[in-house]
Amino acid sequence: EAGVAQSPRYKIIEKRQSVAFWCNPISGHATLYWYQQILGQGPKLLIQFQNNGVVDDSQLPKDRFSAERLKGVDSTLKIQPAKLEDSAVYLCASRSTASGYTFGSGTRLTVV
């Protein structure tokens, strides 16, 4: 089966600009996660979707971050406006009961 697809792979923006990341999970995976991985640290959950509904967004900085999964398939994570501390790798993962969690390769964001 195809893996979790993410784009872009890399993005460099200036602080206060906006940016969007896209994720297409494995076909049939109802649960989708966005994680933030700061250099040298483990991934930290930002938001979890079950189909097109939000299950947990308690760690999402909602003043600047937003995410949607309108049709319950692909998802978009947006940051507006970006801060220097948002520089990180943004990982998307999807899960099914049968196959567990699968991560994409991530989008590396650099805010300058």
The residue ranges that bind another protein (CB under 8 A) are 4, 31, 33, 40-45, 48, 55-56, 91, 93, 95, 100-106
Residue type, 92: C
Give the list of residues 6+ apart from residue 27 with CB closer than 8 angstroms, or none: 1, 2
Are 47 and 60 a contacting pair, CB within 8 Å? Answer: yes
Residue with smaller CB distance to another protein, 5 or 17 = 5
- Terminal Cα distance for the chain, rounded: 37
Residue with smaller CB distance to another protein, 14 or 56 = 56
| Closest separation in Å from C-beta 86 to another protein | 19
Residue with smaller CB distance to another protein, 19 or 23 = 23
Element (H, E) at 19: strand 19-24
| Closest separation in Å from C-beta 104 to another protein | 5
| Closest separation in Å from C-beta 93 to another protein | 8
